[in-house]
Structure 1
Amino acid sequence: MVNNSRSEHDLLGYKDIPNSAYYGVHTLRAVENFPITHVPISKFSFLVDSLALIKKAAAKANHQLGLLDEKKCNAIVFACDELLAGKYHEHFVVDVIQGGAGTSTNMNANEVIANIAIEYLGGKRGEYSILHPNEHVNLSQSTNDVYPTALKIASHFGILALIKAMTVLRDAFKNKSLEFNDVIKMGRTQLQDAVPMTLGQEFSTYAVMMTEDIDRLSEALLLIHEINLGATAIGTGINSHPEYAATVCQYLNEYSGVNFKTAENLVEATQDCGSFVQVSGVLKRIAVKISKICNDLRLLSSGPRTGFFEINLPPMQAGSSIMPGKVNPVIPEVMNQIAYEVIGNDTTITFAAEAGQLQLNAFEPVIGYSLFKSVSHLSNGCLVLAEKCVNGITANKEHMRKQVENSIGLVTALNPLIGYENSTEVAKIALHSGRSVYDIVLEKGLLTKEQLNQAMQPELLTKPQIG
């Protein structure tokens, strides 16, 4: 009979590991212990890549410092490069939410890298006498400095992708603001008619809001560039070379292309999750503002017969199983839901960061999972909102102009031309008769049609005029 498994042991005893698996006994126990989300860490490729970058940098640093021979170093580097090339990710099987402060994730990485390296050296998976997951792949390291550093590296690349997606959405709003620059409409405060503006001005505010949040996210990105790699267990650097922290950071920067910096106080950096809280807070700000924009888009497109009907969102799918012809604003709706999730994730991150005790925060797995979800879903949402909604928005120009002409709010814009008393009288008549301000001004002879049309030009109605 063919033996399809190999036996490995840990402090709890022996377990059979499938021969096809590159992970080992520690990973298998974690899979059995944490069937929580059924989302393996492999779903976040940035995290797997980050672990590979750390282990590669550690191997090179340990070799440079005389702690790891060249043969083993080269094998570990080969294995890490294989992971960075997108291979073997399916063997990262531990659930994203786990006890042990991320130990299971670190051991999963150690075992996969060790077994790839062992095969590179001519051995078989599980022959740890050739190269050991803990003694060699994890040399000079602890989960307590590897895991938070991996979260920060993964967050860095995830945030860069989010900034790119936000830029696409910002540009979509900016393009629409230019397209709608001369489209006159009524502005509203508290859902009541206020004063005229252009649809371009309305969309330009969305572009500015996105620009501001891109700037805030770029600032927050710098906070996660401080890492505790080299801290080992609690920040004292126990079981590592005195020059290891500086050396491994140098290699990490070389391989990642990012300027990470070793924290000045590694004991503090090992227990403090403040940078994750800060980043999450910015993500919540982004979510709140984008959700507000989507509320506006749904409101402005409401109707088509009994709502605002100022803009048309691209029809994406049939909106009802019972009401023929109904089309819903499904893209803004999904973005709203992403925003609610991000706000909830921020609450989770806040409580998890607060719950850390003494020299370590044991709840970094849920911090990382929540942060990655927020970043990933916001990135996808921004691209979908830009491509499937904003880019295709059209304006109902005549409808909006008639609303301006009929709105009592128009008298505010005409006040400098006809005076406060006349404006009050016109507003009173319009309110009680239901007639338009435009018609009443003409009827009372307060302005000629030419003067009134001149006054209603967007460039005059929507900018300062006195002086």
Structure 2
Amino acid sequence: MYRKEHDSVGNIDIPKEAYYGVNAQRAVDNFQITKLKLDPLFVESLVEIKKATAMANMELGELDIKIGEAIIKAADEMLQGNLYDQMIVDPIQGGAGTSTNMNINEVLANRAIELLGGEKGDYTVVSPNDHVNKGQSTNDVYPSAGKLTFLKMMDQLLPTLSDLAAAFKVKAEAFKDIKKMGRTQLSDAVPITVGAEFNAYYVLTKRNIARLVNVRSEISSLNMGGTAIGTGISAHNDLPNMVVKHLNSITGFDLEVAEDLVDGTQNIDCYAVVSDCLKTIALSTSKVANDIRLLSSGPRTGLGELFIPSRQNGSSIMPGKINPVIPEVVTQAAFLVAGHNVTISMAVEAGQLELNAFEPVIFYTMIESFNALTNAFRSFIDNCVIGIEVNEKRCRELLERSTYLTTSLASHIGYDEASSITKQSLREDKTVLEVAREHGVSESILKQIMD
């Protein structure tokens, strides 16, 4: 069974029981790009904006109370998890997000119509455009929904980063007295403790937490009420402040109205800043994952200084092989985020005049970046970091066979003589102490550098 709906293009058949309408169906016909659904947090953010705006319009006398209350009731039902399957448009779409905005307008309108005793599709009762979208445009609704979504995703990533920092700190304390060989450019350098290495990972993660906290301000101002290009055409003058007030009450965030609504509609550089932050967090943590992967390499022919948990078989042909799959997936998530950062950077630049039409691809990639990092870091904590142990015997063996002593020796006998001892030690497979004695270095000096 179908009902007929029409738009400026013409008539179209919509399933009689569908809550979406002609605009959403057109988008499905036009945009089979990812063939995925909108992220639930993004849908939730859209609903919160529609609810807050209906509340504001009612308070300002711009929306009939009966219609407004029906829209709010429909929104509350969606916020409880209903009708998400009616959001049918592809995340990546032409039109700067208009298809998504109209999809949510249609769903809320049709549910509100039902609540008022009408039949879905009878937009004389509740109109997707005139009522649900009252005082709004895609150009303020869509970017505001993106910002709300990213704030929520930050609230998921931040606790994960805090847990990662705590896990590194525990290991730093546990390994603080275990000496090993430090390396620069993959070559022996000078001694360090395993705990000092893990404390550096802890400090890095704390810095990443601070970065993410600081970047929240970039996406805490909304252009709601700016409508099409930021001039506020068709919206009440007090709508921006009123919507933000209600959104703060609904979400618990500390949002504010954009300093300039035209700028807030034209320019979306804030997303580039957030994406750069995610890339920095991703790449720096990937470096740590690579360190752990290298230090645990082996079990017989690698560095072998760390033991990481065995999570699964590593080969379909080599019996007993175990691979560092968790550090590997962290690095792959970082590659994903870095690639998405390029996409987001290009989309931010591509805006023209009063609007940037490329927010859909920004939101799609940014949401995926947030999810990938949150999930990869959680796996890193639970399946790798908390189970790391040190191969103390291997650390001691490599430390004793290293040539690091010549660094200290150089201050007593000179760089050139110490270099000669190093080369002979490697050439003849002797310890530095053995060769130093052959070169006549006194026992008092050797005792001093060994201390």
Deviation at 1:453, TM superposition (A): 11
* Residue 219 (structure 1) aligned with residue 214 (structure 2): yes
Using the alignment, how far apart are the partners of 2:288 and 2:56 within structure 1? 49
- Equivalence for 1:264: 259
Cα shift readout 1:164-205 (whole Å, capped 9, x = no counterpart): 111111211111111111111100011110000011111111
Cα shift readout 1:58-115 (whole Å, capped 9, x = no counterpart): 0011001111122111111111111211221111111000000000000011011112
Deviation at 1:136, TM superposition (A): 0.5
Counterpart contact for 1:231–1:270, Cα < 8 Å: yes
Using the alignment, how far apart are the partners of 2:348 and 2:450 within structure 1? 60
Deviation at 1:438, TM superposition (A): 5.2
Cα shift readout 1:276-311 (whole Å, capped 9, x = no counterpart): 010001111111111111221111111111111111
* Residue 162 (structure 1) aligned with residue 157 (structure 2): yes
1:238 to 229, 233, 238: 233
Counterpart contact for 2:405–2:432, Cα < 8 Å: yes
Using the alignment, how far apart are the partners of 1:101 and 1:344 within structure 2? 22
SS in 1 for 2:35: coil
Change (3 A) 1:311 1:453: farther
Using the alignment, how far apart are the partners of 1:414 and 1:163 within structure 2? 46
Change (3 A) 1:404 1:283: same
- Equivalence for 2:166: 171
2:31 to 7, 31, 34: 34
* Residue 381 (structure 1) aligned with residue 376 (structure 2): yes
Which runs of 5 or more structure 1 residues have no equivalent in the other structure?
A: 456-467
2:197 to 199, 202, 225: 202
Using the alignment, how far apart are the partners of 1:442 and 1:259 within structure 2? 70
Deviation at 1:56, TM superposition (A): 0.6
Q: How does 1:235-314 map to 2 (within 5 A)?
A: 235-314=230-309
Could you tell which deviates more after superposition, 395-404 or 436-445? 436-445
Counterpart contact for 1:196–1:410, Cα < 8 Å: no
Cα shift readout 1:316-362 (whole Å, capped 9, x = no counterpart): 11111111111111111111111111111011011111111100000
* Residue 394 (structure 1) aligned with residue 379 (structure 2): no
Using the alignment, how far apart are the partners of 2:317 and 2:334 within structure 1? 29
* Residue 186 (structure 1) aligned with residue 146 (structure 2): no
How does the TM-score come out when normalised to structure 2?
Answer: 0.95
* Residue 18 (structure 1) aligned with residue 15 (structure 2): yes
Change (3 A) 1:438 1:314: farther
Counterpart contact for 1:83–1:89, Cα < 8 Å: yes
Using the alignment, how far apart are the partners of 2:170 and 2:182 within structure 1? 20
* Residue 107 (structure 1) aligned with residue 116 (structure 2): no
SS in 1 for 2:155: helix
Q: Give the AA of the match of 1:218.
A: V
Deviation at 1:209, TM superposition (A): 1.0
Change (3 A) 1:453 1:312: farther
Deviation at 1:251, TM superposition (A): 0.9
Using the alignment, how far apart are the partners of 1:451 and 1:408 within structure 2? 16
- Equivalence for 1:122: 117
Q: Give the AA of the match of 1:386.
A: I
2:70 to 75, 79, 83: 75
Q: Tell me the matched-pair count.
A: 449
Using the alignment, how far apart are the partners of 1:438 and 1:75 within structure 2? 86
Counterpart contact for 1:22–1:115, Cα < 8 Å: yes
Counterpart contact for 2:409–2:449, Cα < 8 Å: no
Using the alignment, how far apart are the partners of 2:315 and 2:443 within structure 1? 49
Using the alignment, how far apart are the partners of 1:252 and 1:160 within structure 2? 17
Cα shift readout 1:385-422 (whole Å, capped 9, x = no counterpart): 11111111111101111111110013325667x75588
Using the alignment, how far apart are the partners of 2:35 and 2:443 within structure 1? 71
SS in 2 for 1:221: helix
- Equivalence for 1:407: 402
What's the C-alpha RMSD, in Å, of the aligned pairs? 2.0
* Residue 342 (structure 1) aligned with residue 347 (structure 2): no
Counterpart contact for 2:201–2:288, Cα < 8 Å: yes
Counterpart contact for 2:405–2:450, Cα < 8 Å: no
Counterpart contact for 1:145–1:270, Cα < 8 Å: yes
Cα shift readout 1:117-137 (whole Å, capped 9, x = no counterpart): 122222222222211111110
- Equivalence for 1:462: none
2:310 to 303, 307, 315: 315
SS in 2 for 1:131: coil
Using the alignment, how far apart are the partners of 2:158 and 2:382 within structure 1? 16
How does the TM-score come out when normalised to structure 1?
Answer: 0.92
Name segments (4+ residues, structure 1) moved above 6 Å: 441-445
Using the alignment, how far apart are the partners of 2:290 and 2:53 within structure 1? 49
Deviation at 1:437, TM superposition (A): 3.0
Could you tell which deviates more after superposition, 400-409 or 439-448? 439-448
Deviation at 1:441, TM superposition (A): 6.4
Counterpart contact for 1:314–1:393, Cα < 8 Å: yes
The percent of aligned pairs where both chains have the same amino acid is 47
Using the alignment, how far apart are the partners of 1:145 and 1:328 within structure 2? 48
Q: Give the AA of the match of 2:242.
A: T
